[in-house]
Amino acid sequence: MKAAVFVEPGRIALEERPIPDIGPLDALVRVTTTTICGTDIHILKGEYPVRKGLVVGHEPVGVIEKLGSAVEGYREGQRVIAGAITPSGHSYASLDGCHAQCGAGTRHGFKPLGGWRFGNTIDGCQAEYVRVPDAMVNLAPVPDGLSDEQVLMCPDIMSTGFAGAESGRVRLGDTVAVFAQGPIGLCATAGARLRGATTIIGVESVPGRMAMARRLGADHVVDFRQVDPVEEILRLTEGRGVDVAIEALGTQQTFEACLRVLRPGGVLSSLGVYSTDLKLPLGPFAAGLGDHTIVTTLCPGGKERMRRLMNVVAAGRIDLGPLVTHRFKLDEIEAAYDLFGHQRDGVLKVAITP
Q: Interaction with a second copy in 9-38: which residues (CB under 8 A)?
A: 23-25
- Binder among 79, 131, 303, 326 for a second copy (CB under 8 A): 303
**Cβ burial, residue 173 (10 Å; 0-12/13-18/19+):** exposed
CB closer to a second copy, 13 vs 280: 280
Contact flags string 310-339 toward a second copy, x per CB under 8 A: -xx-xx-x----------------------
CB closer to a second copy, 3 vs 268: 268
- Binder among 198, 253, 321, 345 for a second copy (CB under 8 A): 198
- Binder among 10, 18, 77, 288 for a second copy (CB under 8 A): 288
CB closer to a second copy, 18 vs 97: 97
- Binder among 100, 153, 188, 230 for a second copy (CB under 8 A): 100
CA atoms 197, 203, 204, 210: torsion sign:
positive
Q: Do residues 135 and 74 lie in contact, with contact meaning Cβ atoms separated by under 8 Å? A: yes
Q: Do residues 162 and 139 lie in contact, with contact meaning Cβ atoms separated by under 8 Å? A: no
- Binder among 10, 18, 77, 110 for a second copy (CB under 8 A): 110
CB closer to a second copy, 235 vs 327: 235
Q: How far is the CB of 326 from a second copy (least distance, A)?
A: 27
Q: Do residues 191 and 214 lie in contact, with contact meaning Cβ atoms separated by under 8 Å? A: no
Tell me the window of 55-63, 176-184, 222-230, 291-299 that interacts with a second copy (CB under 8 A): 291-299
- Binder among 9, 46, 196, 346 for a second copy (CB under 8 A): 196
Q: Do residues 225 and 205 lie in contact, with contact meaning Cβ atoms separated by under 8 Å? A: yes
Q: Report the C-alpha gap between 56 and 2 in whole angstroms.
A: 12
Q: Do residues 261 and 202 lie in contact, with contact meaning Cβ atoms separated by under 8 Å? A: no
Residue 234: count other Cβ atoms within 10 Å of its Cβ.
16
Q: Do residues 261 and 245 lie in contact, with contact meaning Cβ atoms separated by under 8 Å? A: yes
- Binder among 30, 131, 209, 263 for a second copy (CB under 8 A): 263
- Binder among 90, 215, 329, 344 for a second copy (CB under 8 A): 90
> Considering the rule CB under 8 A, would residue 270 count as an interface residue with a second copy?
yes
Q: In what order do the strands lie in the sheet with 27-33?
A: 129-132, 27-33, 61-67, 79-81, 140-141
CB closer to a second copy, 52 vs 240: 240
Q: Report the C-alpha gap between 137 and 348 in whole angstroms.
A: 30
